[in-house]
Amino acid sequence: MKKYSRDDQITMAFWAADCAERVLPLFEAAHPGDDRPHRAIAACRAWARTGIFRMIDIRGASLGAHAAARDAEEGSAARFAARAAGQAVATAHVPQHAYGAAWYALKAVAAANPAEVTLEREWQAARLPEGLREEIMGRIVVFERGGGVTVKLRKGEGF
């Protein structure tokens, strides 16, 4: 697994939170009373701002967002949006979870409006510093197939 510097991890956490926050309305529209994904994004930002890491808080926020995802309809934009939030906060523990936040955010966009996926991926890429952009975005791949869109995360060597 690739090692990232603390500064890179913090950058990735803010970026992951931004990716998840952009699709959060897709979850909130379907589950207006459930703030678990929102709390996960807030916990991610709090860690990135302060550096204070309490595993019980990070794990609880991530598991809460993933539980919210399980409560959402299978394959729905809402489910993917909640997963993006759960992955974002987990970046505090393992930097590679930032990839998952972006990937799930793209899957949420694909489920809601496939025509917007390329633009969303471009938005994501533009917000990464050059030193991280190629590596991260090279692992998040969008395929157009049969009138639909598939988003893949290439894990492979060094992930």
User: Which structure tokens are listed for 72?
Assistant: 């959402």
pLDDT, tens only, 62-104 = 999 999 999 999 999 999 999 999 999 999 999 999 999 999 9
- φ/ψ of residue 5, rounded to 5: -70, 160
Which value, in Å, is the radius of gyration of the alpha carbons in the chain? Answer: 15
pLDDT reading at 158 higher than 80: no
Q: Calculate mean pLDDT across residues 54-61.
A: 96
For residue 60 the two structure tokens come to: 């609880």
